[in-house]
Amino acid sequence: MHKLARLKHAPNILNQLKKQFVHEHTTVQLINANGLLAHTCFFGIFLYIDMPMLALVNVVSITIWLTAIILTYKAYIRISVVITTIEIAAHATIATIALGLGSGFHLYLWPAALLMCIIPAQYGKVAFVCLATIIVPLLLLNLYAPYQYPEYEALYEYLHAFNLFSAAVPFIFIASVIRFIYRHNFNNISWQANQDQLTGLINRRRALEIIELARAERQTVCLALGDIDKFKQVNDTLGHAAGDDVLVNIAHFSQVQLKGVGQCCRWGGEEFLFIFIGQSFQRSVDKMEEVCDQLPKKVVIDALQRPITCSFGVTEILPEESTANALARADEFMYHAKRNGRAQVISSLISPTI
C-alpha cells in the first residue's frame, strides 16, 4: 500500500540522470545554435570585406556546427563537443593570424575555455584535451600574433565590437549555466546530507542540528522517540519491501500530523524522533497521544493481519542538561511503554523511578 510514497520521497537515480542529460543536451544545443549563427554572420562579413579564403573557411565551420547539432540530437554529446572545440580553436587561430588581434576573433576562445570546464567534465581525459586545445592557441595568439594590419585599419573598430558582443553572449550564458549547476549540485548534496533517502524525513544529523540551534536560541524543546511495535515480524513474514512500505507510510502520516507543530526525523532503523520547538510539554504529549491513537487507523498494510502501532517516550530537554541525556530519557520512556503493553505514550518532565 502507498508504494508511490517511496518514489515521492526517495531520490530516483534514473530520473536524476535523465534530467542531467536533458540539461546537458539543451546547453550544448544552445551553444551549437549560437556557433552556427555566428559563423553564418562571419561568412557574410568575410565576403563583404573581400576575403574569400576566410569565407571558405567559414563554409567548413558552418558544416562542422551543423554536424555538431545532428550529433547532439543523436546523443553523441562527447563527439559534438570535441569537434566544436577543434573548430573554435582552428577558426580563431586562422582569423586572428589573417586579421590580427585587433579584429577580436581570439575573444571566442574565452567562452570556449569556460565551456570546456563544465560540458565534458564527466569524460575524464577528453576534458583536459579539449581544454588544452583552447588554452594553448589562446596563449600563443596573445603572445605572438600581430595586433593590427594597416590595410584593415578601417575595419577593426566595427569588427572588434561585433566579435566582442558575439563572444560575450555565450560567455554570459555559460557562466549562468555554471551558476545553475553549482546551485543544483549544492542543493542536491544538501538534500542527501540532511534527508533520509527512504522516507524523505530529515535524518539524525539534521535533527541534532535543529535541536542544538533551538537550544542556542533558548527555545523550549520537547522530544518524543517512537519505535514501531513488532517491526521485525513484518520483515520476517512479509519481507523487507513491506517493511520499507511501513516506514514510508509512517513517515508520511507523521509529517501530516505534525504539520505546523513539530518535525519528524528518521532516527534509525524503525525508530523515529519527533521534535517540538516552542511548544509546551503538555501540548507535545497531547500531539503524541493523537499520533499514537490515529496511526493504526491511517497506516494499514493489507497483507498484515494486525494493526501497525508504535510506542512513544516523550520528554522535555531541561535547560541545564545535555541533549544526549534528554534523548536517553526519552528512549527509557519508550522502552517502558513497550514493556507496559506497547501502543502507548509514556512521558515525564524528569526521569521517574521505573
Q: What is the longest distance spanned by two Cα atoms in the chain? A: 100
Judge whether residue 8 has pLDDT over 50.
Answer: no
Q: How is 291-333 classified by DSSP, letter by letter?
A: HHHHHHHH---TT-SS---EEEEEEE--TTS-HHHHHHHHHHH
User: In which band, very low, low, confident or very high, does the pLDDT at 118 lie, cut at 50, 70 and 90?
Assistant: low
First to last CA, the chain: 38
82 or 313: whose pLDDT is higher?
313
User: In which band, very low, low, confident or very high, does the pLDDT at 122 lie, cut at 50, 70 and 90?
Assistant: low
Q: How is 203-248 classified by DSSP, letter by letter?
A: -HHHHHHHHHHHHHTT--EEEEEEEETTHHHHHHHH-HHHHHHHHH
Mean of pLDDT values over 328-338: 95
Mean of pLDDT values over 261-287: 96
Give Cβ neighbours of residue 70 (< 8 Å, ≥ 6 apart). Answer: none
Judge whether residue 154 has pLDDT over 50.
Answer: yes
The CATH class of 204-347 is alpha beta
Sequence spans of domains, the chain: 3-194, 204-347
Give me the pLDDT at residue 20, please. 47
pLDDT (tens digit per residue) in 68-117? 999 999 988 888 988 999 999 999 999 999 999 999 999 999 988 887 66
Share of the chain above pLDDT 90, in %: 63
* Phi, psi dihedral angles at 351 (to 5 degrees): -75, 115
Compute the distance between CA of residue 149 and CA of residue 101 in angstroms, rounded to an integer. 10
User: In which band, very low, low, confident or very high, does the pLDDT at 5 lie, cut at 50, 70 and 90?
Assistant: very low
User: In which band, very low, low, confident or very high, does the pLDDT at 124 lie, cut at 50, 70 and 90?
Assistant: low
User: In which band, very low, low, confident or very high, does the pLDDT at 181 lie, cut at 50, 70 and 90?
Assistant: confident
pLDDT (tens digit per residue) in 236-263? 989 999 999 999 999 999 999 999 999 9
Give Cβ neighbours of residue 251 (< 8 Å, ≥ 6 apart). Answer: 5, 9, 196, 199, 200, 201, 264, 266, 272
User: In which band, very low, low, confident or very high, does the pLDDT at 299 lie, cut at 50, 70 and 90?
Assistant: very high
pTM for the full predicted model: 0.62
How far is the CA of 143 from the CAs of 109, 139, 208, in angstroms?
Answer: 14, 6, 57
Judge whether residue 37 has pLDDT over 80.
Answer: yes
